Amino acid sequence: MTRAAKVLTVSDGVASGHRDDTGGRGLVAHLGDHGFEIVEHRVIPDGRDSVSGALTAMTAGFAGLVATTGGTGFGPRDLTPEGTLDILEREAPGLAEAMRAISPFGRLSRGRAGAVGTALVINLPGSPSGAVEQLDAVIDILGHALDLLAGTDRTH
């Protein structure tokens, strides 16, 4: 079964054209390799308001995964978790904890995960390898989570 996904790259450098979007393109490719159909890939600058605004638009009426890359660290403009929290209806701390536990560098991530309607939002690091590594920590259960959000899983 093909599932829909959207990727949001959060980076001042990428948004201004000064840096290549290797993290976003890496997520698009990796999600595609795991059976997701990428229906949108958006790039925005860092910042709480830019993240919450983009996520509000991207989750509206959407049933699927929204994966962000970038802005989860300790830099002064790394406000992706704050912008994400502004729009989440229900947090999924187990997903965020599993993603952080995958490597020593994962402990530096402040990423969040949770639901907005029938969309599942996960924050991933900006590093291409870190983003894929953290995605792989939860990719095996994303389909089940999306089925539960959509109300199509009748096993519970």
Per the prediction, the chain carries an average pLDDT of 95
State the SS3 of the chain. CCEEEEEEEECHHHHCCCCCCHHHHHHHHHHHHCCEEEEEEEEECCCHHHHHHHHHHHHCCCCEEEEEECCCCCCCCCCHHHHHHHHCCEECHHHHHHHHCCCHHHHHCCCCEEEECCEEEEEECCCHHHHHHHHHCCHHHHHHHHHHHHCCCCCC
Residue 137 placed within a domain: no
**Which pTM does this prediction carry?**
0.96
Confidence class for position 19, pLDDT limits 50, 70, 90 = very high
Residue 113 placed within a domain: yes
Residue 82 placed within a domain: yes
Residue 42 placed within a domain: yes
Domain of 114: which CATH number?
Answer: 3.40.980.10
The residues, ordered by sequence, that sit 6+ positions from 26 with a Cβ below 8 Å of its Cβ are 69, 128, 131, 132
Q: Which domain holds residue 22?
A: 3-121
The residues, ordered by sequence, that sit 6+ positions from 141 with a Cβ below 8 Å of its Cβ are none
pLDDT at 43 over 60: yes
Residue 152 placed within a domain: no
> What is the domain count for the chain?
1
User: Which tens digit of pLDDT belongs to each residue from 47-74?
Assistant: 999 999 999 999 999 999 999 999 999 9
Residue 151 placed within a domain: no
Residue 146 placed within a domain: no
User: Which tens digit of pLDDT belongs to each residue from 97-120?
Assistant: 999 999 888 888 999 999 999 999
pLDDT at 1 over 80: no
Residue 147 placed within a domain: no
